[in-house]
Structure 1
């Protein structure tokens, strides 16, 4: 505790240098993520920073280095699992690279809202901007922007004019559909995501392509909106078709939340999963292993997506041309899928 009338002096970089037994320049290199610092020296400096509770003066550092060590993220509709997990993956990867993430969440993906968010980030002197653009309006807005800092797109479902990284949505849908066909199902029905979602269209295209590749019938797609309510409505419709004698034995849904609703509807209609109908989702929610029955689904590696997104924007900051490969999905097989029922 300071004596009366004495104001505690703010910690400065030289305090860290004195405690760590290194130069002021070495502390600066550690704070700014410079690679030319010996591991044991870096550890000593980081220990001194933690012991003192030192916080770098970002504004002052920006004046000296021209860098705020901050990446801006602009995203839309963060209430869905995929975008939320992508944001967490980006934040973790940015922190690991020595950057902080400043987030702007848009209510609507209009060009005006996207432009305002990017302009605000530029005014805050961020070093680069990542846009999570899974919807058509957001992607269209991005194409019209040309900010003075690197701007990259993450988790896109279609072709982009600017540097981008995402998960292979079509490949994931083909894994899901192919798994069901391999179990002997004559065809696979599909419950899609929203029409303006690039990811949803990628998954629909993968489903359709896999069916066509083996000459299987392509049923009419049932529209959805990512919610359990949409999956429940689709389940009621499919159950009615089954009662009418239609051959419905396998369903691939564009996300796990809709699969949850569909499972509930099938149970209410007295249909067994997977005895009567096999079900596959997409995303691998943390709750998916605890659905009734546990859900077969396509897993997206959001941590790896975040790492590649940050890697891409850092490369652009350095003026490097980097083209990261899409993140491959994985099929997680659980007990919601099984062999097609024998025909009467």
Structure 2
């Protein structure tokens, strides 16, 4: 919406969207707190003009994938949030972005939404953006100690939801499978999911379980035959996997080895990608709201652009939910 456009009143918003006046008032208050609107007593609420020190009206999405099939539909949420504004969205892969001079970024883009490939690979670019005071929001990752705002799913809660579901089904030997060797740094998305799994597992785990050792062993056993043998040797009946792609890949490998899923192994993934519901058996997974995450990233970025000197919430966690399907059953 253009700057200074009047917004509907609290009552009008409540009627239009079928919510209470309390809800519409809260929504307007959140927009005001984010510095996206301003209020004039007796006149109402108005869209605040975006402060844009560059001449560009373009926002850049830096993302390591050519499509959203591997990470979820963040781009839809970003586009939704920008639809009523005069900002244009462009996207670019991380390796191409790394070759851009900082002066060109400042000149051509008013702000950057950045999905890191891995923090250790992208840190130089992120530090350069931070020092250049270019508005930036991270997706899916956080950088402890640096005031770069970020938007992530509540991965710790997700890990706990996954393991609690398996515990409720009677499983007691539950492992965590990750392609990422998260134990090298114990930071990032996969570590957060592992810690959530660990927190949920603590009170019900058998005395001889070894969650970290199991995770390392499963990652280091590269072939399906080796992984299958390890799962059988350790009598593991439930598995929490770092994401849906890894979970679906493992399920396919075990199927080729004549495992009966979920009878032989109950599997829970993360993300709820479209393929999860189409698998056989359909994958139980922790759903994150990619669209809402994208919308929150835009709101956070626009708040920076409106008021560059203000201190923003460093980290926004988006709630997750468990989606139960046929890949998990009660332990025999």
TM over 0.5: yes
Checking the alignment, whether the CA contact within 8 Å between 2:113 and 2:297 is kept in structure 1 is yes
Change (3 A) 1:123 1:104: same
Please give the per-residue CA displacement for 1:129-150, whole angstroms capped at 9, x wherever unaligned. Answer: 2222351225522135322432
Which of the residues 211, 215, 218 maps onto 1:221? Answer: 215
Question: Which runs of 4 or more aligned residues in structure 1 lie more than 6 Å from their structure 2 counterparts after TM superposition?
Answer: none
Matches within 5 A, 1:63-78: 68-78=56-66
Q: CA RMSD in A?
A: 3.3
Question: Displacement, 1:127?
Answer: 2.1
Partners of 1:243 and 1:148 in 2: CA distance: 53
Checking the alignment, whether the CA contact within 8 Å between 1:194 and 1:223 is kept in structure 2 is no
Unmatched runs of 5 consecutive residues or more in structure 2:
10-49
Matches within 5 A, 1:7-156: 32-36=2-6, 68-78=56-66, 81-83=69-71, 85-107=73-95, 114=98, 116=100, 118-124=102-108, 126-133=109-116, 135-138=118-121, 140-141=123-124, 142-145=126-129, 146-156=131-141
Checking the alignment, whether the CA contact within 8 Å between 2:237 and 2:264 is kept in structure 1 is yes
Give the match's secondary structure for 1:116. Answer: coil
Q: Which has the larger radius of gyration?
A: 1
Checking the alignment, whether the CA contact within 8 Å between 2:267 and 2:283 is kept in structure 1 is yes
Greater per-residue strand proportion: 2
Checking the alignment, whether the CA contact within 8 Å between 1:74 and 1:118 is kept in structure 2 is no
Partners of 1:172 and 1:157 in 2: CA distance: 17
Residue 300 (structure 1) aligns with = 288
Give the match's secondary structure for 2:89. Answer: strand
Equivalent residue pairs, number: 277
Partners of 1:295 and 1:310 in 2: CA distance: 31
Relative to the length of structure 2, the TM-score reads 0.72
Partners of 2:218 and 2:143 in 1: CA distance: 20
Which of the residues 190, 193, 197 maps onto 1:207? Answer: 197
Residue 49 (structure 1) aligns with = none
Please give the per-residue CA displacement for 1:99-157, whole angstroms capped at 9, x wherever unaligned. Answer: 2112221238xxxx647365432121x22222223512255221353224322222215
Question: Displacement, 1:334?
Answer: 0.3
Which of the residues 241, 253, 257 maps onto 2:230? Answer: 241
Question: Displacement, 1:335?
Answer: 0.9
Matches within 5 A, 1:172-187: 172-187=158-173
Partners of 1:284 and 1:296 in 2: CA distance: 8
Which of the residues 328, 334, 341 maps onto 2:325? Answer: 334
Q: Which moved more, 1:186-195 or 1:252-261?
A: 186-195
Partners of 2:291 and 2:77 in 1: CA distance: 4
Please give the per-residue CA displacement for 1:213-243, whole angstroms capped at 9, x wherever unaligned. Answer: 4444333105789xxxx99x56533421355
Tell whether 2:155 aligns with 1:169.
Answer: yes
Matches within 5 A, 1:253-264: 253-264=241-252
Relative to the length of structure 1, the TM-score reads 0.70
Partners of 1:238 and 1:65 in 2: CA distance: 54
Residue 193 (structure 1) aligns with = 179
Please give the per-residue CA displacement for 1:229-264, whole angstroms capped at 9, x wherever unaligned. Answer: x99x565334213554x3110111111111112112
Indicate the structure whose relative CO is greater, using CA pairs within 8 Å and at least 6 residues apart.
2
Partners of 2:284 and 2:70 in 1: CA distance: 17
Checking the alignment, whether the CA contact within 8 Å between 2:135 and 2:304 is kept in structure 1 is yes
